[in-house]
Copies of this chain bind each other. A is one copy, B any other.
Amino acid sequence: MSSQPTPPADDVAAERAFLATYDAAAFPHPSVTVDVATMTTFDGALHALLVRRSDHPAKGRWALPGGFVGIEESLDGAAERVLRTKAGLGGIFLEQLYTFGAVERDPRTRVISVGYYALVEASRLTAAKPDVGETVLARIDVPWTGESGGPVRALDEAGRELPLAFDHAEILGLVVQRMRGKIDYAPLGFQLLPERFTLRQLQQAHEAILDRSLNKDSFRRSIITRGLVAATGETEKDVPYRPAELYRYAQAENG
């Protein structure tokens, strides 16, 4: 805030003197990690990237990619680093979710975890090659119950439930809840689609997030009248029915 008045010069000197003697390591601190839920949609459902833990604690269980926050690294920077190094992804939507601070959430020691979630189109996520052992794109099943979704389950392609490490089921539940609360007014759906998409694809992304079907005409009208999309004039190709027009995201030009 550059509009704030500058303190008197002698206060500045006193502050400098204080800082020179401050001992940051004088008392025990909780550790801080970031955990990143990378979400995408396909087959009409939300999916998240999970990695199988190769070490204790929770060895063998499935977890969100995460890492400790460096001493000279911002939280956002740490989340970007985890996303880049553990999921092989960069330049995508990434937003802080919530911070989880229960004392016993990690059995090793006191760990506070700042949860993030990222959104990416499915083709980029399946093409990305994470360099961290065994991974899976798990279907995240959180039944629609109006407000705060139902129980959280992570399923593999065969429908088997994957056991999650730590409190990561809780984190994923909050990710889904946040996405459901936000998609009505924030352009989350576009982050899950390629640059050009049909309105049907956009609706399917919304339906996957919400876990409920939407009225087709109302959806189209709402998206178009709000000026969220612009027609490209092109149509989809190689479909066995009438091709739909391709649209692109048009960042709200209101006036």
Residues of A near any B CB (own CB < 8 A): 1, 3-5, 7, 11, 14-15, 18-19, 22, 24-25, 27-32, 55-61, 68-69, 71-76, 78, 96, 98-103, 107-110, 112, 114, 151, 163-164, 169-170
Contacts and interface: CB of A to CB of B under 8 A. Distances in A.
A238 B169 CA distance: 54
A35 to B, nearest CB: 13
A98 B96 contact: yes
28 contacts: A4-B163, A7-B60, A11-B59, A11-B60, A14-B56, A15-B57, A15-B59, A15-B107, A18-B57, A19-B56, A19-B107, A19-B108, A24-B110, A27-B68, A28-B71, A29-B32, A30-B32, A30-B69, A32-B32, A32-B112, A71-B110, A72-B110, A75-B99, A75-B101, A75-B102, A75-B112, A78-B101, A101-B114
Given A11-B60, A25-B28, A75-B99, 6 more contacts: A1-B169, A5-B163, A29-B30, A30-B71, A72-B103, A75-B112
A70 to B, nearest CB: 8
A101 B76 contact: yes
B102 A74 contact: yes
A250 B99 CA distance: 30
Contacts of A24: 31, 108-110
A112 B56 CA distance: 27
Given A59-B11, A75-B101, A112 B69 contact: yes
B164 A4 contact: yes
Contacts of A3: 151
Contacts of A61: 7
Contacts of A22: 108-109
Contacts of A68: 27
A69 to B, nearest CB: 6
Contacts of A56: 14-15, 18-19
Taking each of A27, A55, A68, A101, which has the highest tally of chain B beta carbons within 10 Å of its own beta carbon? A101
A183 to B, nearest CB: 14
A169 B2 CA distance: 11
Closest 4 CB pairs of A and B: A75-B101, A24-B109, A18-B56, A29-B29
Contacts of A151: 3
